């Protein structure tokens, strides 16, 4: 007790603060999202996400090279196809935007670890994450499409697939399909505890994937639920997920912490589009110190228990973290 104990002693200067720091953020933990669109020479900034772009394959490759040069080991790809239909058939074509991007990135930067988002919403005309019948998203028929999509990504050379649709049983279906096609070594990172969140707003502009009617509450989780996240994660691990994800990150740090305590698999957290846009907007207005807020957010996600962070801040944060002292 005071005056014997004075916690301020260990805060006296940056050297000692650094020595006793409990959490460190490194570019090694980052996964950078990229939005691939059709065409050539396309690089279109997403208005609600300054610094993020829809890019054609040639431009995505340049971006991927830059990502790798910043010591960020991995990207996750999202596709914006030229054609959308009821069953999202552009999601699994051999020459879909994502499939072409995987090949081109792997040719140019083979060491970059390529993850793909596996979902139907970017490819369906109705914008839902699965097959819609009688105004309901159909679980079991969707599993087949997701499996086809995952296998097509593996065939193109992806290292890992990340199902984000929240259909029941999709990890098992995808694992079986990959194994059947000889892709036993391709990993699965499941969006296991994915909430029906308003923080995805800017992403839906970026990926042009907003549902045309209704919302995603019949498949994504209720933001009020904490214990249910453990149940979702347990199922996905049983079904064969190698890494599990909590999404969004910032409003769900308790969930990240619970999951980290309860399971032994690596935990990823998705620092989603709305979390990014809020910081960017307030930074532009001069209301917060954008750089410090960014680093504090990333640190808090790590401190809560995330091993990996999917974040639109990855390049900016890496530039700061890579600076020599």
Instruction: By CB under 6 A, name the binding residues for ligand PBG.
Output: 117, 119, 121, 129, 164, 200, 203-204, 216, 272-273
CB of 121: closest distance to ligand PBG in angstroms? 5
Neighbours of 60 (CB within 10 A): 28
What's the rounded Cα separation, in Å, for the pair 301 and 270? 9
What's the rounded Cα separation, in Å, for the pair 276 and 267? 20
CA-to-CA separations, 211 to 124, 128, 135, 201, 277, in angstroms, rounded: 9, 5, 12, 11, 20
CB of 257: closest distance to ligand PBG in angstroms? 21
When the beta carbons of 119 and 259 are compared against ligand PBG, the nearer one is: 119
When the beta carbons of 53 and 203 are compared against ligand PBG, the nearer one is: 203
CB of 254: closest distance to ligand PBG in angstroms? 19
Tokens of 230: 């453990």
Neighbours of 9 (CB within 10 A): 8
Pairing of strands 30-37, 43-45: unpaired
What's the rounded Cα separation, in Å, for the pair 12 and 27? 27
What's the rounded Cα separation, in Å, for the pair 193 and 147? 20
Residues forming the active site: 194, 247
When the beta carbons of 68 and 191 are compared against ligand PBG, the nearer one is: 191
Closest residue to ligand PBG: CB criterion? 203
Pairing of strands 243-247, 267-271: parallel
CB of 150: closest distance to ligand PBG in angstroms? 14
CB of 199: closest distance to ligand PBG in angstroms? 6
Tokens of 26: 């490194």
Quickly tell me which residue has 């410090």 as its tokens.
292
When the beta carbons of 60 and 272 are compared against ligand PBG, the nearer one is: 272
Kindly give, in sequence order, each residue whose CB lies less than 8 Å from that of residue 83, ignoring residues fewer than 6 positions away: 89, 90
When the beta carbons of 51 and 182 are compared against ligand PBG, the nearer one is: 51
When the beta carbons of 204 and 303 are compared against ligand PBG, the nearer one is: 204
CB of 173: closest distance to ligand PBG in angstroms? 17
Kindly give, in sequence order, each residue whose CB lies less than 8 Å from that of residue 194, ignoring residues fewer than 6 positions away: 164, 166, 220, 221, 245, 246, 247
- The answer to whether residues 30 and 318 touch, using CB atoms and an 8 Å cutoff, is yes
- The answer to whether residues 76 and 137 touch, using CB atoms and an 8 Å cutoff, is no
């Amino acid at each position: 007790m005071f005056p014997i104990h004075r916690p301020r002693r260990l805060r006296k200067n940056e050297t000692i603060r650094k020595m006793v720091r409990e959490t460190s953020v490194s570019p090694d933990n980052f996964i950078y999202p990229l939005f691939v669109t059709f065409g050539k020479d396309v690089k279109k900034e997403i208005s609600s996400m300054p610094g993020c772009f829809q890019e054609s394959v040639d431009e995505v490759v340049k971006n991927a090279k830059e990502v790798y040069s910043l010591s960020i080991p991995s990207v996750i790809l999202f596709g914006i196809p030229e054609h959308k239909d009821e069953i999202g058939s552009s999601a699994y074509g051999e020459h879909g935007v994502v499939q072409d991007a995987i090949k081109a990135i792997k040719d140019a930067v083979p060491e970059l670890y390529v993850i793909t988002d596996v979902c139907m919403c970017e490819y369906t005309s109705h914008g839902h994450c699965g097959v819609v019948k009688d105004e309901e998203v159909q679980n079991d028929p969707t599993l087949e499409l997701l499996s086809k999509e995952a296998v097509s990504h593996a065939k193109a050379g992806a290292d890992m697939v990340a199902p984000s649709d929240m259909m029941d049983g999709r990890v098992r279906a995808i694992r079986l399909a990959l194994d059947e096609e000889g892709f036993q070594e391709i990993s699965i990172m499941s969006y296991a505890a994915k909430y029906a969140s308003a923080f995805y707003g800017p992403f839906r502009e970026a990926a042009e994937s907003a549902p045309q009617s209704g919302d995603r509450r019949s498949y994504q989780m209720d933001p009020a639920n904490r214990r249910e996240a453990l149940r979702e994660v347990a199922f996905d691990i049983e079904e064969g997920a190698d890494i599990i994800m909590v999404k969004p990150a910032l409003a769900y740090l308790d969930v990240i912490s619970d999951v980290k305590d309860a399971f032994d698999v690596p935990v990823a957290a998705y620092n989603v589009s709305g979390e990014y846009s809020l910081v960017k907007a307030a930074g532009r207005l001069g209301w917060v110190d954008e750089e410090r807020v960014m680093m504090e957010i990333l640190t808090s996600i790590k401190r809560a228990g995330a091993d990996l962070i999917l974040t639109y801040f990855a390049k900016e944060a890496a530039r700061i973290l890579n600076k020599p002292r």
